[in-house]
Chains A and B, each alone.
Chain A
Amino acid sequence: MKKLLVAVCSAAFLMGSVPALAATDELVWGDTLPKGLDPHVVYDVPMQMFMLNTYDGLYRYIGNPPELTPWLAESHTVSADGLTWQFKLRDGVTFHDGSPLTADDVIYSFKRLLAMGKGPSGAFKPVLKPENVTKVDNLTVQFTLDHAYAPFLATMPLVSIVNEELLKAHEKDGDFGAEWLASNEAGSGAYSLDPKTYNPQEIADLYRNKNHFYGWDDNPSPIDVVRAHPVKETSTRVFALLRGDIDGTDGYLPTDQVERVENAEGVHVQKDESMRIMIIRMNNTRPPFDNLNFRKCVSYAFQYDGFINVVLKGLVTRNPGPLPGNLWGAPKDVKGYSYDIAKAKEYCDAARAEGAPLDRDLEIHIQSALDQTTQSAQLLQQGLSDVGVNLKLVASTWPNLTSQAGTAETTPDMWVHWVSTYFVDPENWIGQMYDSNFHGTWKASSWYQNDEVDRLLREARSETDQAERAKRYEAAYRQIVDDAADIWIYNTVTLRGVSDRVEGLKFSPVGSGAEFRWMSLKQ
């Protein structure tokens, strides 16, 4: 009898579990959630997933290459001088609580963003004052810029339109409802959040908004419930995908896991060329990096092909300059630098002859949590040691490095990072990385200074004709590459492990394809 009891208990223990996978009409998404849910406070890659699904903006990027598509706005006009922009809103759009979305909500959203000064506000603060966002009529909003800013339209998708009345009802001590919105949502998007089950950074259950203004005609079997359950550790994330606990990983599947997922049944790796470039920065103000010959020496000492083809197994594409190769404004004929140790030696000798202090230990700061930063730094360390330059690796974190980038004195000799797609315009990369007006931000942390490049980038920023802008960006691009301001390595291919039951995943560099309204589940 006792033995039987033990056997029954053991069997119950081993077998008695709820099936790993959620219901067949529910999608379980294993990508990261943002730390807070207020889209005017937090703006990073995880937030893009949340805001694309629960909020709407005036315009939206769709597809790859990303196409700027009218979304809440039906159309827009811009004055000849590029200062006055009017957006005509769609009629009949409602928020999740059923209240109508009007010009007042758009104005409130922009004023709230600018007043709080966080998240994506940096894209607007230099050109837009809160009082210059005005109402023309109930469905028309006007923006009057301080000066012409060509990327203005491209930055529109950064701003989520929030429900003014709902937020005002939750306002505390003039906080614009920020404390409440950190754990709730006030949008009109294709999915709404269930705040009852929301657990910060752990669980966000989203339910389909059947009344979404865009309609659902283009997706006959949309997903009704999306459970966003982030899996933090890479190995666990891959395990969870393989055993069917989740339907999708994040878009940064390590290259050593790609083959494993590709060889498994029921899952695959979705590969999409993105717009996220990897760069090794050089502090151009600090000797010996203030010497052009030395920067060229470093540029020739990096094993681009070895890194891309061996370490990353060819899963990324070489990107020789400061713009993603698949974006307008990047000249196609510029080949950039390649690994050539003889040339590196030649340039280092020239730098030494000019008195550059190559004898001191140089430092490259890596981001401890990101293996590729270490691997690339080690390759460069090897290359430089071949030309008699000593490079030391220093472990750091993203907040530390962005803080250090605040002044030229505290910015490290070199550091490694990526520039993602915040908005699809050359301004997001070359404009903010090499215009000296942006010194003090992490994007401009090479402290590059060239008056001609400044002029070209500023003209491109205020010029409204795209062909004219492209010419200036191309000229600036060539000059910056000639000046070897940084080491540009590759443009990312997003690698996302996905269950075979997921259909209709539509990739865009903004949001990395995590827009659920296009997806369905194979039954």
Chain B
Amino acid sequence: MLLFAIRRLLLILPILLGLLLLTFLMLRFGGSDPAAAIAGDIATPQQIEEIREGLGLNQPIIVQFWDYLKDAARGDFGVSVYSNRPVGLDIARRLPATLELTFAALLIATVFGIGFGTLAGVYRNSIFDYVVRIVSVAGLAAASFWIAIMFQLVFAMELDVLPLRGRLPTGMEAPQFITGLYLVDCLLTGNLATFWEAFRHMILPAVTISLGGLATIARFTRSAVIASMQSEFAMYEEAVGYPRHRVVFPYVLRNSLVTPVTQVGLLFGAFISNAVAVEAVFDWPGLGSYLVEAIFTSDYQAVLAVTLVIGAIYGLVNILVDLTHGLLDPRVAERM
């Protein structure tokens, strides 16, 4: 399994290289000139040309890409062409916010998705099953942007039980930086008042992001549970008198989890892309809102770096998912 993990890790490198090249070319041929964006609203054509020259934008694309790769390999993602701040610093500051939100959403989607899916599968064609199926279709169909606004309207504006936006209330000091994940840092420093506020602020955005994934996992789990329940081993165990919960939890569920767990890996990417819209609505200071701003201002260094980081995380999460398959199914582990 260790060799498998190393092999997969090495495979990420060419994937990231391809991702970078694609993004680089899209930015360069996308019609936008970073020099014009940097020069500002009252720049002269000569000034724009000077900036273009200074940034090396007049050099051949391949030279520009090679220079970028050399710097990126050293961990230097460059300086934001617009704000003059190191991009790495911005990402380090914002990445934990996005990770915390995405993992919270994944947790919600996985726990509730598997839970609802299992119950719907076990009690197939019951009222609960119908409700899960209908709600999951709705969860898949509704745009997260719209759900986010509806949640704000109901829980922040009408009921006034949850915060509207942000990671913490205005003026509340952020917890001491250890991991950048507020909930974790609050627990590590014993700061329970801030933990509570951070938790409340996370509920609406995390639930918004999780809904689509929750529906997907619930539907996959339901199908897998139904298939397992109809398999011979399950019928045998029921026939010899095992109570239903003894059949479902240790046996049926374990055999049904491979497909939903695969979905978790795929959903991580979907959640990150959902976070772009959801972070904007909830003013969540993560990478999603940073990426949107970078695209709108042609801040190509920032766009490239965020793409690289998200790509790398996505790759790592999928390796973890593959390793989990091995733990769930010994046959898979043998092939690793």
Contacts and interface: CB of A to CB of B under 8 A. Distances in A.
Decide whether A and B assemble into one complex: yes
A243 B156 contact: yes
Contacts of B34: 399
Given A17-B200, A236-B152, A397-B32, A406 B40 contact: no
Nearest to A205: B171
B42 A42 contact: no
Contact of A117 (B50, B90, B282, B293): B50
Which of B152, B153, B169, B171: most chain A CB closer than 10 A?
Answer: B171
Q: Which range holds the interface residue count of chain A?
A: 35 or more
Contacts of A199: 93, 285
Interface stretch (A98-106, A138-146, A226-234, A314-322): A226-234
Contacts of A119: 40
A20 interface: yes
A399 B297 contact: yes
B42 A122 contact: yes
Nearest to A225: B171
A17 B199 CA distance: 11
A420 B44 CA distance: 17
Given A243-B160, A406-B45, A399 B80 contact: no
Which of A19, A28, A441: most chain B CB closer than 10 A?
Answer: A441
A42 B83 contact: yes
Contact of A239 (B80, B157, B169): B157
B85 interface: yes
Interface string B138-177: 0000000000010011001100110111100111110000
Contacts of A236: 152, 164-165, 281-283
B283 A441 contact: no
Interface string A11-52: 001101111111100101000001110100111100000000
B110 interface: no
A117 B296 contact: no
A453 B317 CA distance: 63
A229 B166 contact: yes
A36 B82 CA distance: 7
A18 B197 contact: yes
Nearest to A15: B161
Contacts of B39: 117-118, 122
Contacts of B283: 202, 229-233, 236
A178 interface: yes
Contacts of B295: 397
A2 B56 CA distance: 68
B84 interface: yes
B47 A18 contact: no
Contacts of B85: 36, 179, 182-183, 200
A33 to B, nearest CB: 11
Contacts of A118: 38-40, 51
B171 A200 contact: no
A43 B293 contact: no
B32 to A, nearest CB: 4
A201 B293 contact: yes
Which of B33, B161, B197, B289: most chain A CB closer than 10 A?
Answer: B33
Nearest to B34: A399
A16 B196 contact: yes
Contact of A122 (B37, B47, B160, B293): B47
Given A23-B171, A179-B85, A397-B296, A403 B32 contact: yes
A283 to B, nearest CB: 16
Contacts of B93: 199-200
B30 A400 contact: yes
Contact of A35 (B48, B51, B293): B293
A123 interface: yes
Contact of A36 (B84, B149, B169, B280): B84
Given A120-B42, A402-B36, A125 B47 contact: yes
A400 B50 CA distance: 19
A400 B43 CA distance: 16
A405 B31 CA distance: 11
Contact of B41 (A44, A183, A197): A44
A63 interface: no
Interface in A375-403: 396-400, 402-403
Contacts of A178: 84
Interface string A289-306: 000000000000000000
Contact of A120 (B33, B40, B282, B296): B40
Contacts of A232: 280, 283, 289
Interface string A412-438: 000000001010000000001000001
B58 interface: no
B45 A179 contact: no
B171 A441 contact: no
Contacts of A179: 79, 84-86
B36 A399 contact: yes
Given A200-B85, A200-B90, A227 B170 contact: yes
A202 B285 contact: yes
10 contacts: A17-B197, A35-B297, A182-B84, A183-B85, A199-B285, A231-B283, A233-B281, A235-B149, A245-B170, A397-B296
Given A36-B80, A369-B296, A399-B33, 19 more contacts: A17-B169, A18-B172, A34-B83, A122-B40, A181-B84, A182-B84, A197-B173, A200-B93, A236-B283, A239-B152, A239-B164, A243-B160, A243-B164, A399-B297, A400-B298, A406-B45, A422-B41, A441-B45, A442-B36
User: Can you list the 5 inter-chain pairs with the closest CB atoms, starting with the nearest?
Assistant: A36-B83, A403-B33, A440-B45, A399-B298, A122-B43
